[in-house]
């Protein structure tokens, strides 16, 4: 693995200076809102107050999620007991091929996004679930996908990419999803090898070619699934023991008994390859900075990734401290699920007291939005650029779901404060004051001139129109005004 002189200089600098990278200080209220929008599933008044008191302390806690108490997230997990079962237990308890556990995984995922205190962890779990995508629900992972979420994604989302890649490559969900479980020395299956190179590690432009895919596929033969237990196993009799080479890595002909170690060596090499560093750095920048991120930032993050032995947290610290991150306000658009979850957080919805507590309804609503968590069918994961989601139909579906959230569908199962609690006290004297106050409560900033004009036109009032306590717009029509704000492009800014 050879670095260019420029990358070597960045690598050395990253090794010396990055792990303690800190946020700029002080942060303005707009800066705090930008940080919260990018690192969480949506702002709430309480969260903005918490972050505003000490942004660095909040970030430090988010980067160590295991040390952060999360009673709300734990409550969501407890509501879906199937997720605590082992692969073997799922196979024993339910009928063969049942999707029940995968449904529970979808329910709990959206619930954690809405209510977990470990918000950055939930953002990263979504990011890595897309990067190492195993579609859920899908029939070939009915018994394993919940375990993949727990021991691959959640366990390693803030660890090292090397460990995450190894765990993914050896997990029965990935082995079955991308067909490596059926790969043998006499009939190598190239599906997983191709996606491992193109999507998971170095990227399509790294220069490995078809010969490289075939070499990787041969090396990975023998990594399969025990069809009796559903667990990963290495079958030496299925392993191709021939010599192989790809992207600066090689193995001589070897014994079948050594095949599993050879596979691990190849995966570690790919995880630590400069092309993988660049690929992951760019994807993180697309998630947290802009759809077309600055190349200089990508290069610096890639160097840090290599210098820190694929550790993810130092890369994140550098990203969030970078000038490019702070200059990118307004440069990202929320995807449909993000806008929906953020709306739930704005209105203060909470799960009902018993069983699923309405969380399952949120999942079905996300399906109707076309963006259920973990549900992207191709192996490349949900796209994270605005153009992929822009359509009249998608916008209309989001508006409909927002109206349902604000108007309190399933009030016994999904509870929320009365919409009137979003009003300022005392009430403003004019409709202009009402619009300004509601925008600050819903969008967490003053309205723009166009937003203000549109909202006043919607109310059929002027800026100076007197506001009275008995007016319809602070009574039965207030939910429509809140819905308008949540339907606005301003709400969809990430």
pLDDT tens digits, one per residue of 392-433? 999 999 999 999 999 999 998 999 999 999 999 999 999 999
Neighbours of 326 (CB within 10 A): 16
- 3-7, 19-23, 269-273, 292-296: the lowest-pLDDT one: 3-7
- Look at residue 2 and tell me whether its pLDDT is greater than 80: no
Residue 279 lies in a domain: yes
pLDDT tens digits, one per residue of 321-367? 999 999 999 999 999 999 999 999 999 999 999 899 999 999 999 99
Instruction: List helix spans (H) across 426-471.
Output: 431-442, 449-459
- Provide the 3-class DSSP secondary structure of residue 158: coil
Task: Report pTM.
Answer: 0.95
Structure tokens at 295: 């190349």
- Look at residue 15 and tell me whether its pLDDT is greater than 60: no
DSSP 74: H
- Look at residue 489 and tell me whether its pLDDT is greater than 90: yes
- Look at residue 112 and tell me whether its pLDDT is greater than 50: yes
pLDDT tens digits, one per residue of 62-92? 999 999 999 999 999 999 999 999 999 999 9
Distance CA 334, CA 323 (A): 22
pLDDT tens digits, one per residue of 142-162? 999 999 999 999 999 999 999
The residue segments making up the domain with residue 452 are: 420-487
Residue 136 lies in a domain: no
- The pLDDT score that the predictor gives to residue 94 is 85
Residue 312 lies in a domain: yes
Listed residues 291, 316, 331: the one ending a domain: 331
pLDDT higher for 4 or 50? 50
- With bands split at pLDDT 50, 70 and 90, how would you rate the model's confidence at 13? low
- Provide the 3-class DSSP secondary structure of residue 195: helix
Q: Once rounded to an integer, what is the mean pLDDT over residues 240-257? A: 98
In terms of phi and psi (left: phi > 0; alpha: psi -120 to 50; beta: otherwise), the region of 249 is beta
Please report which helix (H) or strand (E) contains residue 323, including its range.
helix 323-326
Residue 168 lies in a domain: no
Q: Which stretches does DSSP call E strand in 304-353? A: 350-351
| Percent over 90 (pLDDT), the chain | 95
Residue 181 lies in a domain: no
Distance CA 417, CA 415 (A): 7
- The pLDDT score that the predictor gives to residue 180 is 98
- The pLDDT score that the predictor gives to residue 171 is 98
- Look at residue 14 and tell me whether its pLDDT is greater than 80: no
- With bands split at pLDDT 50, 70 and 90, how would you rate the model's confidence at 16? very low
- The pLDDT score that the predictor gives to residue 6 is 52
Please report which helix (H) or strand (E) contains residue 415, including its range.
strand 414-415
- Look at residue 466 and tell me whether its pLDDT is greater than 70: yes
Q: Is the peptide bond before 26 cis (omega within 30 degrees of 0)?
A: yes
Residue 288 lies in a domain: yes
Structure tokens at 241: 């023991």
Which residues share a beta bridge with 225? 232
Cα→Cα distances 150→87, 107, 248, 466, Å: 12, 15, 33, 55
- The pLDDT score that the predictor gives to residue 116 is 98
- The pLDDT score that the predictor gives to residue 334 is 98
Distance CA 59, CA 35 (A): 9
Please report which helix (H) or strand (E) contains residue 414, including its range.
strand 414-415
- Look at residue 306 and tell me whether its pLDDT is greater than 60: yes
Neighbours of 348 (CB within 10 A): 16
Gap between the terminal Cα atoms of the chain: 37
Residue 119 lies in a domain: no
Count of domains for the chain: 2
pLDDT tens digits, one per residue of 369-398? 999 999 999 999 999 999 999 999 999 999
Residue 19 lies in a domain: yes
Distance CA 77, CA 109 (A): 9
DSSP, residue by residue, 225-281: E-TTT--EEE-GGG---S-EEETTEEE-S--GGGHHHHHHHHHHHHHT-HHHHHHHH
Which residues share a beta bridge with 233? 224
- The pLDDT score that the predictor gives to residue 4 is 55
Contact 278, 302 (CB under 8 A): yes
């Amino acid at each position: 693995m050879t670095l260019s002189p420029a990358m070597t200089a960045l690598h050395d600098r990253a090794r010396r200076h990055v792990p303690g990278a800190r946020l700029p200080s002080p942060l303005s209220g707009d800066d705090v809102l930008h940080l919260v929008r990018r690192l969480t599933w949506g702002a709430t008044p309480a969260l903005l107050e918490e972050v505003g008191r000490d942004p660095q302390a909040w970030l430090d806690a988010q980067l160590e999620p295991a040390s952060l108490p999360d009673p709300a997230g734990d409550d969501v997990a407890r509501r879906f007991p199937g997720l605590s079962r082992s692969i073997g237990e799922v196979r024993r308890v339910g009928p063969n091929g049942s999707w029940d556990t995968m449904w529970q995984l979808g329910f709990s995922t959206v619930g954690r996004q809405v209510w977990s205190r470990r918000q950055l962890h939930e953002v990263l779990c979504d990011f890595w679930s897309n990067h190492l995508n195993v579609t859920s629900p899908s029939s070939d992972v009915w018994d394993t996908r919940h375990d993949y979420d727990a021991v691959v994604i959640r366990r390693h989302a803030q660890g090292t990419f090397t460990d995450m890649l190894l765990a993914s490559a050896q997990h029965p969900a990935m082995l079955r999803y991308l067909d490596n479980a059926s790969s043998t020395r006499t009939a190598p299956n190239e599906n997983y090898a191709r996606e491992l190179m193109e999507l998971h590690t170095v990227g399509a432009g790294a220069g490995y070619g078809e010969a490289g895919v075939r070499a990787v596929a041969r090396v990975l033969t023998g990594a399969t699934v025990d069809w009796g237990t559903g667990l990963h196993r290495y079958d030496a009799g299925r392993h191709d023991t021939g010599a192989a080479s790809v992207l600066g890595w090689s193995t001589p002909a070897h014994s079948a008994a050594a095949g599993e170690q050879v596979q691990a060596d190849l995966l570690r090499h790919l995880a630590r390859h400069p092309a993988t560093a660049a690929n992951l750095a760019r994807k993180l920048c697309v998630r947290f900075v802009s759809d077309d991120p600055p190349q200089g930032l990508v290069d610096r993050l890639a160097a840090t990734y290599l210098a820190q032995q694929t550790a993810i947290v130092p890369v994140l610290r550098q990203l969030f401290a970078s000038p490019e991150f702070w200059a990118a306000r307004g440069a990202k658009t929320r995807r449909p699920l993000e806008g929906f979850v953020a709306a739930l957080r704005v209105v203060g919805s909470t799960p009902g007291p018993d069983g699923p507590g309405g969380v399952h309804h949120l999942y079905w609503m996300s399906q109707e939005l076309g963006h259920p968590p973990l549900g992207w069918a191709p192996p490349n994961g949900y796209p994270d650029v605005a153009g992929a989601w822009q359509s009249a139909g998608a916008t209309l579906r989001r508006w409909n779901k927002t109206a349902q959230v604000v108007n309190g569908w399933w009030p016994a199962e999904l509870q929320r404060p009365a919409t009137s609690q979003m009003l300022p006290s005392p009430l403003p004297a004019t409709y202009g004051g009402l619009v300004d106050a509601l925008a600050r409560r819903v969008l967490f900033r003053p309205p723009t001139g166009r937003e203000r004009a549109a909202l006043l036109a919607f109310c059929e009032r002027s800026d100076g129109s007197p506001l009275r306590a008995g007016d319809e717009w602070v009574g039965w029509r207030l939910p429509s005004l809140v819905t308008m704000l949540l339907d606005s492009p301003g709400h969809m800014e990430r």
